[in-house]
């Protein structure tokens, strides 16, 4: 499909956290020629600090629109060769808004598939999640795409997990569907783990608490392990996925397949990961770890309170009983298939990723001074 002019790629959710990293990596890669990159998002596009690409910025065009608007989405897909469907409603709270989560994650994905068929888009890469495989009743230790049950019987973040699974299944089922011009649609799904990096808005919340207190506390047992990776490395894997879909005659045809994503970031507990970043930003770090029973008890009462008011007013509360079980559990996955089939290697080392992230956090919290440079991980 590729030619000297290059391909046109549409990234839904392109103005968001992972979306901007995907756009940046597409601009800077030299694996295949790119003619144009379109970002499609409900919010304006503004580069996060430290993310502006080193080249090819003239190829980026931003379209403000919603994937819940089929007409706008179909128009945005005109003359597009590849769609990276990255737009999602992330809902980790105790009682998330089921209607909006399904509307964006499932109905919006259906709109994307329909737009691809209508506009003869031959390649579709879907951003799924490792949450489609997480199970409250059993750990996932270096699990592979074939060793886990999808969907999990007991998903941790039930509303979000189910919506992502349904959307992933929809995209993979759409593989080999006939387009308007008679050609076939090729699809794949990528399952990112927890993400850190420029533009992060989840870990920054926890770090903000630590900075205000002047001390970092560890939450969760060290034995509980969660998988995190640098956004730039996860975004770089999309380059290899697009390459494979564009060149289906190669040995590595990934049509209809799903992949867990990852990089060389150590498998930490969530508390250890946050503590590593906090140490680089604050002078003192606590070593005490609140026990599981205490954390669960607090979360239980907060969860009940959230349930009591949920019928009157929407209350986004990320700290709840399932979240505590997740923090004390073990959930990490192998990305060996990504390496073996696609030839993926992380673009950034863990040290580079850590330092780039700390630079962003310093800017975000207004801590840009030389004294912080000595706190960066060596």
Would you state the pLDDT for residue 376?
A: 44
* 3-class DSSP state of 353: helix
- pLDDT (tens digit per residue) in 60-76: 999 999 999 999 999 99
DSSP code for 138: B
What architecture is domain 7-200+229-265+332-348?
A: 3-Layer(aba) Sandwich (3.40)
H helix and E strand count, the chain: 12, 14
Question: What residues does 194 pair with on adjacent strands?
Answer: 228
In degrees and rounded to multiples of 5, residue 178 shows phi and psi of -85, 130
Q: Domain spans of the chain?
A: 7-200+229-265+332-348
Sequence-distant (6+) residues with CB within 8 A of 193 are: 130, 226, 227, 228, 229, 234, 260, 261, 262, 332, 333
The pair of structure tokens assigned to 226 is 């969660």
Please tell me whether residue 76 adopts helix, strand or coil conformation: helix
Query: What value does the mean pLDDT take over residues 20-42?
Result: 94
pLDDT digits (tens, 9 = 90+) for 327-375: 777 788 899 999 999 999 999 999 999 999 999 999 988 886 544 444 4
Q: What is the pLDDT of residues 277-297, one digit of tens each?
A: 888 887 565 556 677 767 778
pLDDT of 158 above 50: yes
Condensed to tens digits (0 to 9), the pLDDT of residues 108-132 reads: 999 999 999 999 999 999 999 988 8
Residues 6+ apart with CB under 8 A from 234: 18, 21, 190, 192, 193, 195, 261, 262, 263
pTM value is 0.89
In angstroms, the CA 94 to CA 322 distance is 8
Q: What are the CA-CA distances from residue 226 to residues 61, 229, 330 (Å)?
A: 36, 10, 6
Which one of 24, 162, 164, 243 is the catalytic residue?
Answer: 164
Is residue 194 predicted with pLDDT exceeding 80?
yes
More confident of the two residues 141 and 256 = 256
Q: Which residues pair with 196 in a beta bridge?
A: 230
How large is the greatest C-alpha to C-alpha distance in the chain, in angstroms?
63
Question: At 244, is the secondary structure helix, strand, or coil?
Answer: helix
Percent of the chain with pLDDT over 90: 52
The DSSP secondary-structure symbol of 48 reads P
Respond yes or no: is residue 376 known to be catalytic.
no
Residue 350 CB neighbour total at 10 angstroms: 16
Cβ-contact 79, 55 below 8 angstroms: no
Which positions ≥6 away from 161 have C-beta within 8 Å? 129, 131, 132, 134, 151, 152, 155
**Tens digit of each residue's pLDDT (9 = 90 or more) over 197-209:** 999 988 887 777 7
Most confident of 57-61, 98-102, 304-308: 98-102
Query: At a CB cut-off of 8 Å and minimum separation 6, what does 216 contact?
Result: 210, 274, 275, 278, 279, 282, 284, 285, 286
CB 144 within 8 A of CB 333: yes
Mean pLDDT of 207-225: 67
Reported as type and span, the H/E element at residue 187 is strand 186-191
pLDDT value for 378: 41
């Amino acid at each position: 499909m590729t030619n000297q002019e290059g391909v046109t790629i549409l990234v839904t959710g392109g103005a968001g956290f992972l979306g901007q990293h995907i756009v940046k990596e597409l601009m800077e890669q030299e694996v295949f020629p790119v003619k144009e990159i379109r970002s499609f998002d409900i919010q304006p596009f503004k580069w996060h600090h430290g993310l502006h690409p080193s080249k090819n910025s003239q190829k980026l065009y931003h379209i403000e629109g919603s994937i819940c608007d089929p007409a706008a989405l179909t128009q945005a897909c005109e003359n597009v060769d590849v769609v990276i469907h990255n737009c999602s409603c992330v809902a980790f709270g105790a009682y998330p808004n089921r209607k909006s989560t399904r509307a964006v994650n499932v109905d919006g994905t259906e709109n994307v598939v329909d737009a691809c068929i209508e506009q003869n888009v031959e390649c579709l890469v879907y951003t799924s999640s490792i949450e489609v495989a997480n199970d409250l009743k059993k750990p996932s230790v270096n699990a592979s795409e074939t060793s886990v049950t999808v969907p999990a019987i007991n998903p941790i973040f039930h509303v979000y997990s189910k919506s992502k699974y349904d959307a992933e299944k929809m995209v993979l089922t759409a593989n080999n569907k006939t387009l308007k011009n008679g050609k076939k649609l090729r699809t794949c799904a990528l399952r990112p783990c927890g993400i850190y990096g420029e533009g992060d808005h989840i870990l920054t919340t926890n770090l903000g608490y630590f900075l205000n207190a002047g001390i970092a506390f560890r939450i969760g047992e060290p034995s509980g392990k969660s998988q995190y990776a640098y956004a730039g490395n996860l975004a770089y894997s999309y380059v290899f996925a697009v390459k494979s879909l564009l060149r289906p005659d190669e040995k590595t045809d990934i049509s209809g397949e799903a992949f867990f994503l990852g990089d060389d970031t150590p498998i930490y507990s969530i508390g250890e990961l946050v503590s590593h970043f906090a140490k680089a930003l604050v002078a003192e770090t606590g070593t005490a770890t609140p026990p599981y029973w205490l954390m669960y008890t607090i979360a239980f009462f907060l969860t009940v309170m959230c349930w009591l008011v949920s019928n009157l007013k929407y209350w986004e509360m990320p700290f709840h009983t399932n979240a505590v079980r997740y923090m004390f559990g073990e959930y990490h996955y192998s990305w060996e298939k990504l390496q073996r089939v696609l030839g993926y290697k992380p673009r950034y080392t863990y040290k580079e990723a850590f330092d780039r992230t700390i630079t962003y956090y310093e800017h975000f919290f207004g801590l840009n001074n030389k004294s912080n440079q000595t706190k960066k991980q060596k």
